Amino acid sequence: MKEIHTEIDIQATSERVWEILTDFKNFQQWNPFIYKIDGTPSVGAKIKLHLRTPKGKSRTYQPRITKVKPFKEIRWLGKSPIPGIFDGERIFILEPIGANQIRFVHREIFTGLLVDLVGNRLDKDMYSSFNSMNEALKKRAEQ
């Protein structure tokens, strides 16, 4: 197992951040990492993610939404075609920390046989990608 964990404090309500985070059709307007999502943020829905890392690598994934707690949490799980090889669960958590202020927690937990082989390569690129998304979300929510 490998986990990438980032967080950022945002001067906005959970409702405001949630509105941005679940408005998949407008990700291209603000998100430098996940620049497009096809689908809807509802449990069981399969979505199509279009990613671009800071190093310029583009990827497309088709995870399934596994949890939606309005104004609090959304998760999706991407699985490799061969079970148990390489899976990733993306987790977004909105934690109220004050009046009109939240902590946005952005995590991904990787599991499977290939995690040990590619785990260290994930660190820099993914960590940087998560932080760029976090900063962009903060900027948009605080406008």
Question: Which one is predicted more confidently, 2 or 27?
Answer: 27
pLDDT at 119 over 70: no
pLDDT at 123 over 90: no
A 10 A CB-CB count for 113 gives 11
Give the pLDDT of residue 126.
86
Per-residue pLDDT tens digits for 6-46: 999 999 999 999 999 999 999 999 999 999 999 999 999 99
Domains and CATH numbers, the chain: 2-141 (3.30.530.20)
Which residue pairs from 30-38 have beta carbons closer than 8 angstroms and sit at least 24 positions apart in sequence? 30/136, 30/137, 30/139, 30/140, 31/133, 31/136, 31/137, 32/132, 32/133, 32/136, 33/129, 33/130, 33/132, 33/133, 33/136, 34/133
pLDDT at 125 over 80: no
pLDDT at 105 over 80: yes
Burial of 27 (0-12, 13-18, 19+ CB in 10 A): buried
pTM of the model: 0.94
Give the pLDDT of residue 81.
86
Give the pLDDT of residue 114.
86
